[in-house]
Amino acid sequence: MAMATHDSGARWKTFLSEAKEQEITLLLSRQTASPVIDVSFHELTGFDPEFAEEILISPRLIISSGHKILSEICRDRGVDLDAMIRLSDLPKDTMRPLREIGSRDIDKLRSLDVIVTKMSQLKPRIHLAVFQCENCGETQQIDQTNESELVEPIRCPPDTGCGASIRGNDSTRFNLVMNISRMINNQWLEIQELPENVPSGAQPSRAQVLLEGDLVNKHLPGQRITANVIPVVRSEIKKNKKTPMFDIIYHMVSSTHESVPFTEIKISDEERAQIEDVAATDNLLQLMGNSIAPSIFANDKLRLIKRSLVLQLFGGVRRKTSDNNYLRGDIHILLMGDPGVAKSQLLNYMSNISPRGKFATGGGTTGAGLTAAAIRDTFGDGRFALEAGVLPLSDRGLAAIDEFDKISNEDKGSMHPAMEQQRIYVAKGGITATLPARCAILAAANPKGGRFSNRNENSSIMTSFEETGLPYPLASRFDLLWLIRDETETNTDTKIARHILNIRTSSVNENRSQDIDFETEREEGDNIFSTGVDGKKHLTMEFLRKYVAFAKRNYFPNLNEKAKLAIEEYYVSVRNDTAKQDRSAGAFENESEKDRVIPITARAIEALIRLTEAHARMHLKQVADETDANVALAVYKHWRDDSRIEDEAELQSGLSASKRNINQSIRKIIREICEERGGEAEITLIYNRARDFGIVESQVDDVISSMSINGEIYTPRGGTYRFAR
């Protein structure tokens, strides 16, 4: 400690004048945005190892001594600056989990891997206070190191002033002289430990961090940072009395934003070689599909769904255009299904397997919910502060949202930009902000009536989407929408029953599993492959997680010309084939432009590009070729066939082209009869004419009912209709 307090100034002076001369010159020329010099801990260790070690033990004294010495050097050279030193690149042994910081860490230098959840408004704070004695006018300076208390002088210095104290017969008062005192900007952050480090069943540890000077306004809720901090203690105050219990708050020394995603997943050279070997295997997509929730029996439909979930895991590449717009790379998928078809299990598995995956239920999210909230009294000052929800916290990962149909109306509205622009726009409590939400969304929705009603086989998936009660435009934000029906078929039912019984009997009793848990984990960590109860080989969860992180961290495929051509040909052919069919059927005669069938729009090209990039990334390729495009097209075509969406506008309005045409045809029939019969149309006549067009009576009743509700037509007497205008 003696060296730290007495010798640190001289050592700083030697280090700064020898190793940082160029940076000081730049500082004096006022070319830098803020008066700060970055000092890497490696540099200090190389220059003076003993001094560097001393900083880790007494950081507050030595770093504040460094600030003073740097400011003195600047003053000696004719520039009055409150210059600061930012110490970065701390050694690995200073890294601690947030939940383990305790009495041993107080006033030491520590590194924390955390996520920012809230931030306060910026506030100025005095760090060098100048007080003036009322009796004699003498001034004295006091350093303010405690942000929660203003330290005032007790007496005027007798050698330069009158020597009067604040108590006694000849007492004096001291006034704060604001224009000479030095102030610095301050801001509070709330940090939370990384979601993947929170033990099961535990609440994530939170802490408050004080930022000063150039560190303010550099962070956003939802960002992952490595914070280099000094933990300090402040006494708890209850009923205006200090208690022997202390709160820990953190003074930030410096911070680094995560530059490379998924650094929390460590991949050794041996594992890297194993990943590259697996990537070269045949039928990789099938192996990956088997690895998605292997305990769930996959019939033909579920096999297709698992294949699309694999591509969602890897995702496409997010790109920035020349006009500063961002093109989404993440693939969004919606699973609609009857109860008991393993939707929640699929979501749970996907959130566990995806790096940065988070699981939430639409019905159970409150407060910050899925997007963000403005919370009052966050830092005890009564102001609003932003709190990030599920989507910003799973930035660069996957958000699995169960019971998507039960999300709040407020969240439903903000989901549109969150899914397409991948940003969340907040305008609450006087705060307007934009938070990043660059995550894939896997959502599951249930029907309002408990089960999806039995539609005929040719009906579109949008008829089922209607039963979830979600707004139609939200459907167009998803790349793929799947409907999972609980259908009865003896052969499949036998296989499912056998599969569940086998899974149940081969699983380990929970009490016994605690004894062998460590051993199983070690085996699982060492193994690449595992075998399910159905005898199929699949990748272990831990290995698949590393595979996905490795692929997403290192591979950003571009489409080559052949891949582009394959997608272009499919898009053009589907649009033109439908147009030809309509022309040959005379569909455009007497038909307005809005009733034309547009089978797919440019949105489909975006989805196909993302699927192609995901397949190439899964194979660890930097260039996506024709093979990747063909797989993407196969996945997309299977989905189109299964969903039976004949017109892209159906995703926006919920009305299929045929349904729109029927509506138009019935309106036209009623109008023609009214013109012929003096402004009135009888229901029997409407039925007869509609039958000639292949329209059944129930469809006529539906349209007439909707026209009556809208006030288009009215009934002057039973079974007769007139137009209202």
CATH code of the domain covering residue 213? 2.40.50.140
Answer yes or no: do 592 and 690 share one domain: no
**Low-confidence winner among 228-237, 255-264, 680-689 (lowest mean pLDDT):** 255-264
The model's confidence at residue 110, banded by pLDDT at 50, 70 and 90, is very high
pLDDT of residue 532: 67
pLDDT, tens only, 19-62: 888 888 888 887 777 788 888 888 888 888 888 888 988 898 89
The model's confidence at residue 562, banded by pLDDT at 50, 70 and 90, is very high
Q: With a cut of 70, say whether residue 464 has pLDDT above it.
A: yes
Pairing of strands 241-257, 206-212: parallel
**Whether the Cβ atoms of residue 82 and residue 42 lie closer than 8 Å to each other:** no
Element (H, E) at 256: strand 241-257
Q: Can you tell me the distance from the alpha carbon of 687 to that of 698, in angstroms, rounded to the nearest whole number?
A: 10
pLDDT of residue 588: 40
Answer yes or no: do 347 and 476 share one domain: yes
Pairing of strands 84-88, 36-40: parallel
pLDDT of residue 459: 67
Residue 540's closest CA among 522, 560, 555?
A: 522
Pairing of strands 720-723, 681-682: antiparallel
- Domain hosting residue 479, numbered range: 292-507
> Which residues, 6 or more positions from 273, have their beta carbon under 8 angstroms from its beta carbon?
none
Answer yes or no: do 124 and 14 share one domain: no
**Whether the Cβ atoms of residue 533 and residue 506 lie closer than 8 Å to each other:** yes
CATH of the domain at 373: 3.40.50.300
Answer yes or no: do 574 and 684 share one domain: no
Q: Can you tell me the distance from the alpha carbon of 539 to that of 284, in angstroms, rounded to the nearest whole number?
A: 11
Mean pLDDT of the chain: 81
**Whether the Cβ atoms of residue 255 and residue 215 lie closer than 8 Å to each other:** yes
Answer yes or no: do 156 and 179 share one domain: yes
* Residue 564 in domain: yes
CATH of the domain at 46: 3.30.1640.10
Q: With a cut of 70, say whether residue 593 has pLDDT above it.
A: no
pLDDT, tens only, 300-352: 788 889 999 999 999 999 888 888 788 889 999 999 888 777 788 888 888 88
Answer yes or no: do 171 and 199 share one domain: yes
Q: With a cut of 60, say whether residue 155 has pLDDT above it.
A: yes
Say how many domains are in the chain: 5
Element (H, E) at 132: strand 123-133
Strand partners, 538: 530
What average pLDDT does the segment 408-423 reach?
A: 80
Q: With a cut of 90, say whether residue 566 has pLDDT above it.
A: yes
What average pLDDT does the segment 479-489 reach?
A: 77
pLDDT of residue 516: 45
* Residue 709 in domain: yes
pLDDT, tens only, 372-404: 777 765 565 666 777 777 888 788 888 899 888
Q: With a cut of 70, say whether residue 656 has pLDDT above it.
A: no
pLDDT of residue 210: 92
Residue 147's closest CA among 381, 326, 312, 343?
A: 381
- How many Cβ atoms are within 10 Å of 689's Cβ, its own excluded? 19
Q: Is 261 exposed, middle or buried (0-12, 13-18, 19+ CB in 10 A)?
A: middle
* Residue 111 in domain: yes
Distances in whole angstroms, Cα of residue 714 to Cα of each of 398, 558, 561, 682, 724: 52, 59, 59, 12, 6
Strand partners, 432: 427
Q: pTM score, two decimals?
A: 0.71
When mean pLDDT is compared over 159-168, 233-242, 248-257, the highest value belongs to 248-257
Whole-number percent of the chain with pLDDT over 90: 16
Rg from Cα positions in the chain: 34
pLDDT of residue 492: 59
Residue 452's closest CA among 477, 478, 487?
A: 487
The model's confidence at residue 208, banded by pLDDT at 50, 70 and 90, is very high
Pairing of strands 529-531, 480-484: unpaired
What average pLDDT does the segment 568-574 reach?
A: 89
Answer yes or no: do 23 and 155 share one domain: no
DSSP-derived secondary structure letter, 20: S
Q: Can you tell me the distance from the alpha carbon of 181 to that of 139, in angstroms, rounded to the nearest whole number?
A: 11
Q: Can you tell me the distance from the alpha carbon of 351 to that of 369, in angstroms, rounded to the nearest whole number?
A: 17
Structure tokens at 237: 């105050």
Q: With a cut of 60, say whether residue 583 has pLDDT above it.
A: no
Pairing of strands 139-143, 423-428: unpaired
pLDDT of residue 498: 63
* Residue 280 in domain: no
Answer yes or no: do 298 and 252 share one domain: no
Q: Can you tell me the distance from the alpha carbon of 77 to that of 61, in angstroms, rounded to the nearest whole number?
A: 25
pLDDT of residue 374: 72
**Low-confidence winner among 99-113, 136-150, 177-191, 506-520 (lowest mean pLDDT):** 506-520
**Whether the Cβ atoms of residue 369 and residue 362 lie closer than 8 Å to each other:** no
Residue 290's closest CA among 228, 349, 373, 355?
A: 349
pLDDT of residue 683: 86
The model's confidence at residue 434, banded by pLDDT at 50, 70 and 90, is confident
**Which of 591, 624, 653 finishes a domain?**
653
Answer yes or no: do 499 and 486 share one domain: yes
**Which of 631, 653, 675 finishes a domain?**
653
The model's confidence at residue 512, banded by pLDDT at 50, 70 and 90, is low
* Residue 460 in domain: yes
Pairing of strands 440-445, 333-337: parallel
* Residue 586 in domain: yes
Whole-number percent of the chain with pLDDT over 70: 83
What average pLDDT does the segment 141-162 reach?
A: 85
Answer yes or no: do 680 and 638 share one domain: no
Residue 66's closest CA among 30, 43, 38, 94?
A: 38
pLDDT of residue 597: 58
**Low-confidence winner among 51-55, 149-153, 460-464 (lowest mean pLDDT):** 460-464
* Residue 99 in domain: no
pLDDT of residue 649: 61
pLDDT of residue 108: 92
Q: Who wins on pLDDT, 503 or 521?
A: 503
Answer yes or no: do 33 and 179 share one domain: no
What average pLDDT does the segment 663-690 reach?
A: 84
The model's confidence at residue 514, banded by pLDDT at 50, 70 and 90, is very low
Q: With a cut of 50, say whether residue 525 has pLDDT above it.
A: no
Question: What DSSP assignment string belongs to 572-615?
Answer: HHHHHHHHHHHHHTTTTTT--GGGS-----HHHHHHHHHHHHHH
Q: Can you tell me the distance from the alpha carbon of 150 to that of 153, in angstroms, rounded to the nearest whole number?
A: 10
* Residue 519 in domain: no
**Whether the Cβ atoms of residue 445 and residue 404 lie closer than 8 Å to each other:** yes
The model's confidence at residue 471, banded by pLDDT at 50, 70 and 90, is confident
Residue 147's closest CA among 175, 187, 202?
A: 187
Answer yes or no: do 313 and 436 share one domain: yes
